[in-house]
Amino acid sequence: MAREKVTIAIVGAGLIGPRHAASVVKCSEASLAAFVDPSPQAQAVAHSFGVPLYPSIEALLASRDRPAAAIICSPNNTHVALAKQLLSASVHVLIEKPVAISLPSATSLLTHAALCSPTKALAGHHRRFNPYITATKHALQTNLIGNPLAISGLWALRKPPSYFAPPTAWRASRASGGGPILINLVHELDVLSYLLGPITRVYAEQTPSTRGHAVEEGAAVTLRFASGAVGTFLLSDAAPSAHSFEAGTGENPLIPRAGRDFYRILGTEGTLSVGDMRVERYAGGGSRGWEEVVVEERVQVGSEVPFDEQVRHFVRVVRGEEEPRCSVEDGVRAVRVAEAVLRAMREGVPVEVDGDRKEAKL
């Protein structure tokens, strides 16, 4: 006998909401219940999916389309309030990154989620489901490059003026959670923590501003991990480049795939270039020196679609069949590190990341 599908509402019909909705529709274990968005433009999105549109969470909860779960895809500064409202109504939530725009609001969400147990709350860092990250995680767990020593990361592209135009002008506002540190780097910080363990100290220098917005356009960041590994990361949303997660993996249909690298992980037995998935070693083995010829091999990558995998996982967590792969605690950790980067950039000093002192385990 077929089990009843988990009904899921999408909160926010902007850029990312329809992508989540498409994954819900594709999932045989889920059913798309409705969209929630006060914007008149959202009606066309809801109509294209053949589901109703509600102007508020209150209206959704009072309707016959009240869902079992919801994916929150609204502007960053609304995530915490909407998540609390849904959790209080016993609706399971998957919260798009960042789960909050400040550490106090993030920790208040964590407290509220604990009070609403057993209703589930997950953080929407979908890159944990990306086949490139899955393959990289497996390579590290199987000691393909030995003990990780350092990582060099790069995320650079140029966002067009339309990206900052209404109704998404909030992306240029610090108060609304705009800027590439909270919108883009927070993804990278979560992935790096997932791959290499907790980040314990950061330092950052801001790149020059070219748009005149109230938010940063990029930064050069240094990182220290609990394992002792160190890292650097260059971030810019104002520089033409093919070196970004999206361009390297082809994950975002709006950004042409280039297949270039975006991380290089240096280990005691070799170097893994993530994006083109090349492993470099000495011909005589990792213990040999620079007189050896460097040889290359490739790490195989699967074909999973991250948003689809995340929705399937969300359904199974709601049903109690799996534990969250990316919990609210993980989402709060990413916000904690992002806030430390912003503080380091603002104050010009290294910042210790509190709460991440435990030893890393790959």
Given a cut of 70, is residue 269 above it in pLDDT? yes
Is residue 241 domain-shared with residue 288, that is, in the same domain? yes
Mean pLDDT across 204-209: 97
Extended beta strands in the chain, E state: 6-11, 30-36, 53-54, 69-72, 92-96, 121-124, 148-156, 199-206, 218-225, 230-236, 263-267, 271-274, 278-282, 294-298, 351-352
Q: pLDDT tens, 132-159?
A: 999 999 999 999 999 999 999 999 999 9
Decide if 219 is inside a domain. yes
360: in domain: no
Kindly state whether residues 212 and 89 are assigned to the same domain. Answer: no
Any domain includes 358: no
- Residue 285 confidence (pLDDT): 65
Residue 264 amino acid letter = R
One-letter amino acid of 326: C
Predicted confidence at residue 204, as pLDDT, reads 98
What's the distance, CA 318 to chain centroid? Answer: 20
Three-state DSSP string of 209-252: CCCCCCCCCEEEEEEEECCCCEEEEEEECECCCCCCHHHHHCCC
Residues 172, 286 within the same domain: yes
CATH of the domain at 85: 3.40.50.720
- pLDDT, residue 358, reads 38
- CA distance linking residue 309 with residue 317, whole number of Å: 12
> Phi, psi (5° rounding) for residue 264?
-130, 115
> Max Cα separation, the chain?
72
User: Does residue 173 surpass a pLDDT of 50?
Assistant: yes
Confidence band (pLDDT; 50, 70, 90) for 356? Answer: very low
Residue 287 confidence (pLDDT)? 60
Structural domain containing residue 40: 6-127+307-324
Confidence of residue 361 (pLDDT cuts 50, 70, 90): very low
Q: Tell me whether residue 329 is in a domain.
A: no
The structure tokens 């240094």 sit at: 222
SS3 state of residue 54: strand
Looking at the fold, whether 166 and 98 belong to one and the same domain comes out as no
User: What pLDDT score was predicted for residue 78?
Assistant: 95
User: pLDDT for 127-138, tens place per residue?
Assistant: 999 999 999 999
CA–CA separation, 58 and 355 (whole Å) = 35
3-state SS assignment for residue 150 = strand
> What integer best gives the mean pLDDT of the chain?
94
Find the mean pLDDT for residues 200-220: 96
294 shares a domain with 253: yes
Alpha-carbon distance of 122 to 297, in angstroms, equals 36
- Tens of pLDDT, residue by residue over 275-301, are 999 999 998 765 678 888 899 999 999
The answer to the question of residue 359 being in a domain is no
- 158 and 273, same structural domain? yes
Pairing of strands 230-236, 218-225: antiparallel
Confidence of residue 54 (pLDDT cuts 50, 70, 90): very high
Do 165 and 59 reside in the same domain of the chain?
no
Query: In the predicted model, what is the mean pLDDT of residues 78-95?
Result: 98
Are 230 and 282 part of one and the same domain? yes
Query: Do 99 and 177 lie in a common domain?
Result: no
Indicate if 171 and 249 belong to the same structural domain: yes
pLDDT at 319: 97
No. of H helices and E strands in the chain? 11, 15
* DSSP labels, 328-350: HHHHHHHHHHHHHHHHHHHHTS-
The SS3 call for residue 259 is coil
The count of structural domains within the chain is 2
Burial 66-89 (b: 16+ CB within 10 A, else e): ebbbbbbbbbbbbbbebbbbbbee
Closest CA to 97 of 195, 193, 198, 183: 183
235 plus 121 within the same structural domain:
no
Same domain, 66 and 151: no
Q: What is the mean pLDDT of residues 148-173?
A: 94
